[in-house]
Structure 1
Amino acid sequence: MERELLERLLVGDDEASVAALAVLRCGGSYVVWEGTTASEPLALIYGRRLRHTRRRRVETQNLAGAVELLGRHQRPVRLGQIRATDGSWTFMLFLTEDGGRLIACTGVRRTHV
């Protein structure tokens, strides 16, 4: 996926999408993987991650919202990732099957930079 297309998909107003777009525009690395994954197992996995990050007080952005949106999506999801150049944040992107729309975005602050 071209960087410009990914920038257009990150036009949401949630904090994670805004931050991911800023990281991307500042030269962050990104990947959008081929293939798809069912949204229901992803909602369960990221629900566990939400509980884990809360217990450990790890800073996240829009993780609860992403879990909710994945749980409601009911269709396959394409995954992507954006990493800050300094390694301080990693953002996960959940896209529609064709990669044409952003379903949700979540970020986690990396503690071991």
Structure 2
Amino acid sequence: MKREELISLLAGDGPVNEACRKALEQGASFHIWDGLVPASNLAPAYRAREAITRDRGIPTLGFAAAVETLNALAEQPVRLGGVTQLDPPYYFQLFLSADATTVLACIGVDQQHQG
């Protein structure tokens, strides 16, 4: 996938999509993985991660909404991607449709507060 394609997929509203799109526009690195995973396999892990980041006071964007989306998708296959912004350090976890034509959900995690 080309950078411009991913930027256009993040055209939706919301602070996490906007922040991820801006990071890409400013040159953040990104990767879209080839494999597919049922959303139901991801939802419990990301629910636990959301609780951990909240308990540790780590700033995030879109976490709760992404977990809700993964739950709602049930057995639908999801493609994963990631965007790494170095300054300030922030990581965006992307959940895309199987054909990588739609961003289903996005999570942003502040990396400055990682322990």
**Range class of TM-score, shorter chain:** over 0.9
Residue of structure 2 equivalent to 1:73 = 73
Unaligned runs of 5+ in 2: none
- Distance verdict in 2 for CA 1:47–1:78, change over 3 Å: same
Within-5 A mapping of 1:29-108: 29-74=29-74, 75-86=76-87, 88-108=89-109
Letter in 1 for 2:82: Q
Question: How far apart, CA to CA, are the structure 1 residues paired with 2:88 and 2:77?
Answer: 29
Structure 1 moving runs of 4+ over 3 Å: none
Q: CA shift at 1:80, angstroms?
A: 0.4
Q: Percent identity?
A: 38
After superposition, give the CA deviation of every residue in 1:53-80 in whole Å (9 maximum; x if it has no partner): 1110000000000000011012010000
Unaligned runs of 5+ in 1: none
Q: More deviation in 19-28 or 78-87?
A: 78-87
Tell me, yes or no, if the aligned pair for 1:27 and 1:85 is still in contact at 8 Å: no
Question: How far apart, CA to CA, are the structure 2 residues paired with 1:73 and 1:5?
Answer: 23
Indicate the SS of the match to 2:34: coil
The alignment covers a number of residue pairs equal to: 113
After superposition, give the CA deviation of every residue in 1:1-49 in whole Å (9 maximum; x if it has no partner): 1111101100111211110000000010000000111101211111001
TM-score (norm 2): 0.94
Letter in 2 for 1:25: E
Question: How far apart, CA to CA, are the structure 1 residues paired with 2:60 and 2:86?
Answer: 18
TM-score (norm 1): 0.95
Residue of structure 2 equivalent to 1:19 = 19
